[in-house]
Structures are given as C-alpha cells and as structure tokens.
Structure 1
C-alpha cells in the first residue's frame, strides 16, 4: 500500500510534456576538465599498437575482442563449447571510463570525475523534472525547485530503502554525488526490456521511468549480494546509477554463460541463477576462496563494480582490530 503527497496523474502529465532545451551559458575555452558551462575536451586517440605484438593481443587491445582459431586440439571437438562465445565473437569485459555527456527531454547531463569521485551535472529547462535519491544533492542553482515526497510501502520497509523521493524542477543547474567512493553511469530505457539493479545503486531518473521493488527468490536473495529486494526499471527514459569502485560492462552472446561473484552486481537485463564456481568437492570450493556466485546466461548485458562493499567493510574491521 502506497501513500504519496503528490498525485500520480500530475507525474504522468509531466512525463508527456515536451520541455524547452536547457539554458545555455557562456563557454570557457582552454579548460581540460569540462563542465556544464565549459568546453568539453574529448580523450585523445588511442596510440597505434606495434606490429611486433601478437595479432590476437593487438586486436584485443584495440577493440576488446579476439578471433579464436576454428581448428581444435585433438579430442576436444572444436571450440563451440556450450556456454562459451562462438569462434570469432568473444568480447572481454570493457571499461566505461571517460566523461559521459548526453541530453534528454528538457535537460542535459555530464558524468565527470569518474571511477572514484564521480558527479553528475544536470542543466534543466523550465518545468523539467528529475527524480533523485534523497540526500545526494551536492549543489544547485537558486532558480531550481526541490520538492520532497513521502512514499511508504512494505517492500521498501523490508528492503531498508528510503521512503522519501526528491523531485528537482528546472530551470538551472543541479549537481548530484553518490555517498560512497565510486562511479556513476546512465542506463537508457527504450521500453523493450527491463533492467534490475540493487536498490542502493539507484541515483536518479527522468520522469518517464518506473522503478519499483521486486522480490528475488530465496537463493538469489541470500547469495547474489543484491539482497531479497531489487529495483526493476521499466518504461522509457534515463536512469543514473552508482557503484562502489569503477564500472565494467560485459556483453553476453546468445547462450553464453558468465559467472559474477556476489557483491559485484550493478545492473543486468538477463536472467541468472546461483551456482558453485569451483569444480571438485567441498574442500576444493573452500580452499579456492570462491563459493556460490551468479551465473548469467545470454543474450544480455551485465554491469559490474570493481569493489565489494561487504569485503571492504570486513577489511576495515580487520585493519582496525590489528592496529
């Protein structure tokens, strides 16, 4: 059961309104850092790779993919192994590093200071709304309007999520920053598929996006690291999410299977199940240090964070106890 201080009809009408472009501001040249009122300097082109490198290594360094040989060693029956990418289609997990800029209906954004100190800077037009997690505002223009809403639900209560929702309305500039040291990225929703993220990964979204808590089954809730309740993102719009550490992306081909250890998930649009990673018996799994993990099956995309918050907290406890 949900109580809201604002009517949903008004929110729906906002999502259907065509807003004017955000206000423009004077450009400051010769500034390598960029910003909403500054010149954006794209990263330099990649340096050419020496021909002395192995061809596969050179190809992987250029575009993150390699061409696997089609001839198989004796007795292995080819490289078309179930759960692996087809020959010539393998792509490694790729970085999402670098400033990210874009526009949406009624605004524009820039994600900067990536990997550990990320911030998201918005320019909103008159009347353009943006929903965000409470408490993540770093700064905003005096022309902006902030309105808080209180939404209670049993799922939010059980998930430990915040009951408040902050809605910022333009015109002006808005800067959002995550609570933890990590990265930010944007997901584009086109209405053709649904994404799922841990509830703590949510940062902000446009008014046309629907995000609601859904329940994972007992096994996923206990061992995925994302908890029993996750956000399911649907409809059309943009969603900005946060991570602990940098964010890397893995594209899965149809039928390809891929393990992600619990505590490293940021966003995914394909199904997974919990399985034991290490082969062999219980002793093998215990000594390898890897237990149950999330096994994804393509096609789909998985975003992962490079640090585990629970592992980091445990390391701090150990360091504090030994000092």
Structure 2
C-alpha cells in the first residue's frame, strides 16, 4: 500500500533532547532542530549541511579515518551540534526531508547520498550489497545499514513517497528512485523475468517483496544529469 509522506509545514515534533520541524516541503525542505538547554543532546549531520544556527550551539567537525571508509567511499568527516538553541540543516539538491524512527529491530538500509542527520543513538555502517545488485540497481556497491535507536533524517531528489508491503506482497520500483528500504529485493528486466546477463542497466527495475517498507524519490538524479548533458553544447 502506498502512502504519501505527511506534509505538515509548521508542526514541532519531539526527539530526545529537543524538538524538530521540517519546513518548506516538499522540494525546498529544511530541517529545523531545537536543542533544549541542559539536555546534553547531540545531533550528527552530513558535513556542509548547516544553513544557520544559534550562537549558543557548538559545531564540531570530526574526522573519522579508516581504511574501510577509504575502500567503501564513505564520508570520513561528520559534523556534530551540541549546546542549546536552533540549528537548521538542508541538503544540496532540491528535494524533501523524511524522518525515520529507528527502533533497533527493523533492518533499514539507505543509499549513501541520502543521509542528512541523526540523533546521537543512531549510527550507520557501510556494507556491500553485492556486485550484481550494485551494478543494476543504480545504487553504489556499498550502502548504509542503519543501527541503534533514535531519529534519522534522509534527503531525496524531488518529493518522497512511502510504500508499505505486507508479507509476500511485491512492488516494482524503477532503479535510481530508491531512498531507504527495509524489504528484500531482486533485480529484473522491466518487462519481467530474472536478469541473467550482464548487458546494460537500461530497462531494469527492483522488485521488492514484503514485509517491509520502501521510500522512493519522485525524481532521478542520473536521468537529470543525462538531460543536462543533452542540453549543453558540445565542447569545441
């Protein structure tokens, strides 16, 4: 069953240590986070995501070097926000922001470019999804598995829809539109049938099978880049 992500513009919602609000949805979204005085709450965010913040908020940049992160292409830097007051975060591209409630039991996976921020109790770990899936799904060889408990904020290119799948229920998603998922999937030709040859990524889809949920973005960055290349004049 497909559900639109709620579009409330000004509603403040709680998290452990403060409140948050997603404004200007759904293609120019910004995440406003209020850190309560004395709460000790810490927000972790993608480097460069800060738009503005109160003078009472402390921003710290941390470099977390590891050989594994070099191999997987994961970010080695992370911004942390502490203190008290408001901090506003936004993605690079036009799109929406969606909140995931991480309970430690649902096996959420996210694309590497979708992470915006999370509360202190949430972490992400790069894992290989297999060469075949990476090549055909439009996702990287390494994706993030989400761990811990708390709130996670993800970004999209375009708006976001959520599809909830019952056990055994199938749903097909065009590659390049994935944001996050907790259901299993396999790669197929768009016309049906299993993918059996390494020819081209064109016309391939992801068949998800419940139980689980899938967050999809309404626009595809790769298709947009291809469109821009076609419009740009050829280099002399």
In the superposition, the TM-score normalised over structure 2's length comes to 0.90
Residues 3-45 of structure 1 deviation map (CA, whole Å, 9 limit, x = unaligned): xxxxxxxxxxxxxxxxxxxxxxxxxxxxxxxxxxxxxxxxxxx
Structure 1 runs of 4+ aligned residues shifted over 2 Å read 91-101, 153-162
User: Gaps (5+ residues) in structure 2?
Assistant: none
- Looking at secondary structure, tell me which structure has more strand per residue: 2
Cα distance in 1, alignment partners of residues 64 and 149 from structure 2 = 22
1:103 aligned counterpart, secondary structure? strand
What residue number does 1:163 align with? 76
What residue number does 2:19 align with? 108
How far did 1:190 drift?
1.2
What residue number does 1:205 align with? 118
Tell me if the contact between 2:2 and 2:161 (Cα under 8 Å) persists in the aligned partners. no
User: Gaps (5+ residues) in structure 1?
Assistant: 1-90
How far did 1:312 drift?
0.2
Question: For structure 1, which segment, 119-128 or 131-140, has the greater mean C-alpha deviation from structure 2 after superposition?
Answer: 119-128
2:229 aligned counterpart, secondary structure? helix
Q: CA RMSD in A?
A: 2.1
What residue number does 2:223 align with? 311
In the superposition, the TM-score normalised over structure 1's length comes to 0.66
What residue number does 2:185 align with? 272
Cα distance in 1, alignment partners of residues 223 and 15 from structure 2 = 37
- Looking at secondary structure, tell me which structure has more helix per residue: 1
Structure having the higher Rg: 1
Q: 2:8 aligns with which of 98, 113, 116?
A: 98
Cα distance in 2, alignment partners of residues 129 and 272 from structure 1 = 34
Cα distance in 2, alignment partners of residues 130 and 96 from structure 1 = 23
